[in-house]
Structure 1
Amino acid sequence: MKGSRWFLGVDGGGTKTEFVCIDAAGKVAARQIEGTTYHLQVGLDGAVRALEAGIAGICAQLDTDPGDLAFVFCGLPAFGEDAAIDPQLAAQCGRLLGHGRYRCGNDMICGWAGSLACADGINLVAGTGSIGYGERQGKAARVGGWGELFSDEGSAYWIAVQGLNAFSRMSDGRLPRGPLHEVFRQRFDLVDDLDICAQVMGEQGLQRDGIAGLAPVVAQAVAAGDAVAIDIHERAADELAAMARALRETLGFDSAEAVPLSWSGGVLANDASVRGRLEARLGDRGRYDFVEPRHSPAYGAALYAAHLAGATIP
Structure 2
Amino acid sequence: MSGLFLGIDGGGTKTAFVLVDEIGRLLARHESTTSYYIEIGFDALRALLRDGVQAALRQAGVNASDIAHTFAGLPAHGEDSELFGTFDALLKDVVPRSTVGNDMVCSWAGSLAGADGISLVAGTGSIAYGEWMGRGARCGGWGEVFGDEGSAHWLARETLALFSRMADCRAEPGPLLGLVREHFALQHDLDLCGEINGSAARSELAQVARLATAAANAGDVQARQLLVRAGDELAALAAGVARNLGVTGIQAVPVSYSGGVFAAGELVLGPLQAALARRLPGSVLKTPRFGPELGAALYAARLAGRPLSPAALARLDG
Contact 1:34 1:53 in 2 (8 A): no
2:132 counterpart (124, 130, 136): 136
Correspondence 1:8-19 to 2 at 5 A: 8-19=6-17
1:154 counterpart (144, 150, 155): 150
Three-state SS of the structure 1 residue aligned to 2:68 is: strand
- 1:124-183 deviation line (CA, Å, top 9, x unaligned): 011111000000011000000100111000001101100101111211222222221111
Give the aligned partner of residue 115 of structure 1.
111
1:235 counterpart (207, 225, 229): 229
- 1:17-56 deviation line (CA, Å, top 9, x unaligned): 0000100112111111111111001011111111011111
Partner Cα separation in structure 2 for residue 199 and residue 62 of structure 1: 42
Specify the code of the residue in structure 1 equivalent to 2:267.
S
Specify the code of the residue in structure 1 equivalent to 2:7.
G
Cα shift at 1:268: 1.9
Contact 2:72 2:100 in 1 (8 A): yes
Deviates more, 1:181-190 or 1:112-121: 181-190
2:308 counterpart (305, 310, 313): 313
Whether 1:212 and 2:206 are equivalent positions in the alignment is yes
Whether 1:66 and 2:87 are equivalent positions in the alignment is no
Unaligned runs of 5+ in 1: none
Deviates more, 1:146-155 or 1:267-276: 267-276
Contact 1:125 1:268 in 2 (8 A): no
Contact 1:14 1:128 in 2 (8 A): yes
Cα shift at 1:92: 2.3
Deviates more, 1:263-272 or 1:233-242: 263-272
Aligned residues: 308
Three-state SS of the structure 1 residue aligned to 2:173 is: coil
Give the 3 Å change call, closer, same or farther, for CA 157–239 of structure 1 in structure 2: same
Identity %: 46
Give the 3 Å change call, closer, same or farther, for CA 179–269 of structure 1 in structure 2: closer
Unaligned runs of 5+ in 2: 310-318
> What TM-score does the superposition give when structure 1 sets the normalisation length?
0.94
Partner Cα separation in structure 1 for residue 254 and residue 158 of structure 2: 30
Contact 1:124 1:263 in 2 (8 A): yes
Give the 3 Å change call, closer, same or farther, for CA 69–248 of structure 1 in structure 2: same
Cα shift at 1:83: 2.1
Cα shift at 1:122: 0.3
Specify the code of the residue in structure 2 equivalent to 1:234.
V
Contact 1:37 1:48 in 2 (8 A): no
Partner Cα separation in structure 1 for residue 308 and residue 83 of structure 2: 32
Partner Cα separation in structure 2 for residue 229 and residue 117 of structure 1: 34
Give the aligned partner of residue 313 of structure 2.
none
> What TM-score does the superposition give when structure 2 sets the normalisation length?
0.93
Give the aligned partner of residue 271 of structure 2.
277
Three-state SS of the structure 1 residue aligned to 2:142 is: coil
Give the 3 Å change call, closer, same or farther, for CA 167–269 of structure 1 in structure 2: closer
2:254 counterpart (250, 260, 264): 260
Partner Cα separation in structure 2 for residue 177 and residue 290 of structure 1: 34
